[in-house]
Structure 1
Amino acid sequence: MDRTMSHQYRTIDVPVEGGALRAGVWNPTDAATGAPTVLLVHGVTASHLAWPFVVDRLPGVRVIAPDLRGRGRSNGVEGSAGMAAHASDLAALLGALGIEQTVVVGHSMGGFVSVVFAHLHPERVSRLLLVDGGLPLDVPAGLSTDELVAGILGPTAARLSMRFADAGAYLDFWRQHPAFTGAWTPELERYLAYDLVDDGAGAFRPATSYATTADDTLDMNTGSALPAALAGLQHPTRLITVPRGLQNEPPGLYAPEHLDRLLAQYPGVDHERIDGFNHYTIVMSPAGADVVSAAVREELSAVPTR
C-alpha cells in the first residue's frame, strides 16, 4: 500500500466474466468512516493511473478507479468488450467493495461507459460527470471499423501496434506528443510506464490491444447501448468539454456546432466548456485536475443525504 499526503492507495482484483478486473482504491487518510465515494472511469487506451492528479485534489473522498477490461492489468480479461460489458464490470467492482451508490466520473470513452452504466444499473449511480466524452461524436456514417478508429484516434490507435525496447523508449516516444508540450510530469511518466506489457518476444507493447480498442470504438459510435442510454437518461448529468483534441488540435472532440445540436437533443445535460486544455490535460495535468476535482466536489455536495 502506498501513501500520499491525502490518500492511501492499494489495488484490488475483482472477478468479472472472463477474468479479473484490476482497480485502484484511494482511501482518504484524514476522513472518518462514511467518507463520500466517487468512481472514476478512464478513456479508451488509458488505465486507472490516469487519475492521480484528480485524486490528490480530493482529500476526504474515497476514490475507486478500474483498469477497464482489456487495459492496464485488466488486459487479460477474456471475451468481447463494448459499453455493456464495461458497465457489468463496474457493477461487479462496486459490489465487491460494498458500494451501493456513487457519483460516477467518466473521461473520454469512460464517459460513454458511464452513461451506459447509469442506464443499465441506475440504482448504483447518483450523478454523472462526463469529461470530454459521453455524448455522440460527429463521425460520418458507413465507415469501416479501421476507418472509424483511425478517424477518431489517429496516432493513438497506431501506437497500439508499435513495440518498444523498454520503458525509457516508450517515454521518449511520448515526450514528442503535442498534447503534453509543457505538461510533462512525474505522474504522467508513472502512468505511461504502467501501460507497458511484455510482448513475449523480447520487447514491450502498450497493454491495450488494437482489437479491444476497435471493438469499443465501434460499439460507442454505432452500437445500440449508448443511444438507448441517452434516450433514457435520468440522472443529473454534467458535461465538461475542452477546445483541443488528442493531438492538441482545435476544435477538439466536440466542435461547437455539433455540440450545440447535442445539447439541444439532450437538454438535461448541463454543459460547460473550459478553455486552455486538450483532451488529455483536462485530467492529466495539475491545472486540469483543479477543474475536474472542483466539479467532482460540486457533484458530491449535490447528492442528497441518505
Structure 2
Amino acid sequence: MIAYEEVQVPVTGGELAVLRWPAREPDAPVVVALHGITANALSWGPVARLLDGRITLIAPDLRGRAGSSALPGPYGIATHTDDIAALTEALGLDRVVLAGHSMGAFVAALAAVRHPERFGPLLLVDGGIGFPAPTHLSPDELMTAVIGPAMDRLSMTFPDRAAYRSFWQAHPAFAGAWSAEVDAYIQRDLTGDEPAMHSTCRIEAVRTDGIGLFDEEVLTAVRKLPAPATLLWARRGLMNEDQGLYDETRLAAADLGGTEVTPVPVRDVNHYTLLTGEAGAGEIAHHLLTMAATPGPSGA
C-alpha cells in the first residue's frame, strides 16, 4: 500500500475528507475518483498503487461515509455532484478526468453534466448505466433490491476490528482476493468502541442515495455527457454470482448508441474485485493513464 495524504475541503455544511496519492511530477495529470454507496476513498488504494506515481489520484469519502460521516444532509446524488465540484474548486483543479465505481459512477456522470467546465473524460466502473425502477416496490423494498446485504451491515455491531475483518473475509466477492489494501479499505469504514463497533456509513445517507439512483435526471445523465466515457463492466456480480450488474443483453436494452459511452467488459472479476483486485485495478489504471494522456485541458 502506497502513502497518501488526507486533507479537508470545504463543502456545504462542513468539510469533506479527501485522500490524495501524489504523482512523482508536480505537473502530472489529475484524476478524481468516487467510491460506491457503502464504500470509502480507500477502495481506490489498489488503483493508486498501480498508477505508480504517474497520476495524482484524489478520492473523497463521500458525504455520510468514513471521514465525511459527520457531514449533514440533505443527501442524494445531486448533493454529491455539488460536493465534487466544490472539491475541484478548492483544490484548484480544472477539466480533470473523473472516475466512479458503482454509485460513484452515477455521481460522476451527473457531475459531468451539471458541471461540464470542471471535468473531462469519464471512466465509469460497473455503474452509471441505470434501469427504470420497478413501480410496484416501496422505497425500502427498492433499497433491498439494489444493495441487499450491504444495507443490513449498516445496522450491525462488531466486537472488534478482527471480527469486522472476518465478516468481510467471508463475503463471496472477496474469496481468494483478500489483501492488505482491502483490509485497510474495510477498516476505514469501522468506528465506535469495543464491543459495539459499527460502520461509519449513515443509514439515512445510503438510503437516500440508493433511492436517488432511480431519479430521471440520474438515469439520463449518460445520454447528456459533454465528454467521452468508458464503461468498464464486470462479468460477475456483487456476491460473485455469474450474473453481473451488466451483460450484453442489458447493455443492448440500455441503448447506448448515439451516446458518448463505450462499454468494455472485464473478465474474471466481480463488482468489487473490478476495483480492489489486481487484474481489475490494473485495467482501471490502464484506462486512466490513457485518458489522462489525451490531449486537451487538464487538471492543475
Q: TM-score, normalised by structure 1?
A: 0.92
Q: List aligned pairs for 1:197-216, cutoff 5 A.
A: 197-198=191-192, 203-216=196-209
Letter in 2 for 1:23: V
* Alignment-derived partner of residue 22 in structure 1: 17
Mean CA deviation greater in 113-122 or 230-239: 230-239
Does 2:105 correspond to 1:114?
A: no
Moved beyond 6 Å, runs of 4+: none
- Deviating more after overlay: 190-199 vs 169-178: 190-199
- Letter aligned with residue 19 of structure 1: G
- Which range moved further: 203-212 or 34-43? 203-212
Alignment-mate amino acid for residue 10 of structure 2 = P
Q: Is the 8 A contact 1:138 1:254 kept in 2?
A: no
Which position in structure 2 is the counterpart of 1:11?
Answer: 6
- 1:76-115 equivalence runs, <5 A: 76-115=70-109
Counterpart of 2:82, as a letter, is S
Matched residue type, 1:79: G
Select the residue among 118, 121, 135 that pairs with 1:124.
118
Cα deviation for residue 245 of structure 1 reads: 1.2
Distance of 2:138 and 2:289 partners within structure 1: 41
Q: Deviations over 1:50-83 (max 9, x none)?
A: 0111011112211100000011110110012111
Matched, 1:187 2:184: no
Bigger drift between 172-181 and 8-17 goes to 8-17
2:67 match = 73
- The answer as to whether partners of 1:42 and 1:110 remain within 8 angstroms in 2 is yes
Distance 2:133 2:268 in 1: 25
**CA deviation digits over 1:2-34, x for unaligned, max 9?**
x93xxx511011121122110101112x32x31
The percent of aligned pairs where both chains have the same amino acid is: 38
* Alignment deviations for residues 149-178 of structure 1 (CA, whole Å, 9 cap, x no partner): 111211111111101111111001111100
Q: Distance in 2 between matches of 1:299 and 1:137?
A: 27
Is the contact made by 2:234 and 2:265 (CA closer than 8 Å) also made in structure 1? yes
In 2, are the aligned partners of 1:126 and 1:303 still within 8 Å (CA)?
no
Counterpart pick for 1:235 among 227, 232, 237 = 227
Is structure 2 residue 281 aligned with structure 1 residue 289?
A: yes
Q: 1:21 to 1:182 in 2, by over 3 A?
A: same
Q: Which residue of 2 aligns with 1:34?
A: 27
**Structure with bigger RCO (C-alpha 8 Å, 6+ apart):** 2
User: How far off its partner does 1:101 sit?
Assistant: 1.8
List runs of 5+ in structure 2 lacking aligned partners. none
* Aligned residue type for 2:159: A
Question: Structure 1 residues 303, 135: closer, same or farther in 2, change over 3 A?
Answer: farther
| 2:261 equivalent to 1:261 | no
How far apart in 1 are the matches of 2:28 and 2:241? Answer: 39
Look up the match of 2:211: 218
Structure 1 residue 305, shift from structure 2 partner: 5.5
Letter in 1 for 2:175: T
What is the Cα deviation at residue 232 of structure 1? 2.1
**Counterpart amino acid of 2:236?**
R
Structure 1 residue 302, shift from structure 2 partner: 1.9
Say which of 162, 165, 171 aligns to 1:168. Answer: 162
Name 1:145's counterpart in structure 2: 139
Instruction: Find out whether 1:279 has 2:271 as its counterpart.
Output: yes
Distance across 1 between alignment mates of 2:297 and 2:156:
49
Shift of 1:138: 6.1
Equivalent residues, number: 297
Residue in structure 2 matching 1:61, options 43, 55, 58: 55
Could you tell which deviates more after superposition, 224-233 or 146-155?
224-233
Q: How far, CA to CA, are the matches of 2:114 and 2:196 in structure 1?
A: 40
Return 5+ residue gaps in structure 1 as ranges: none
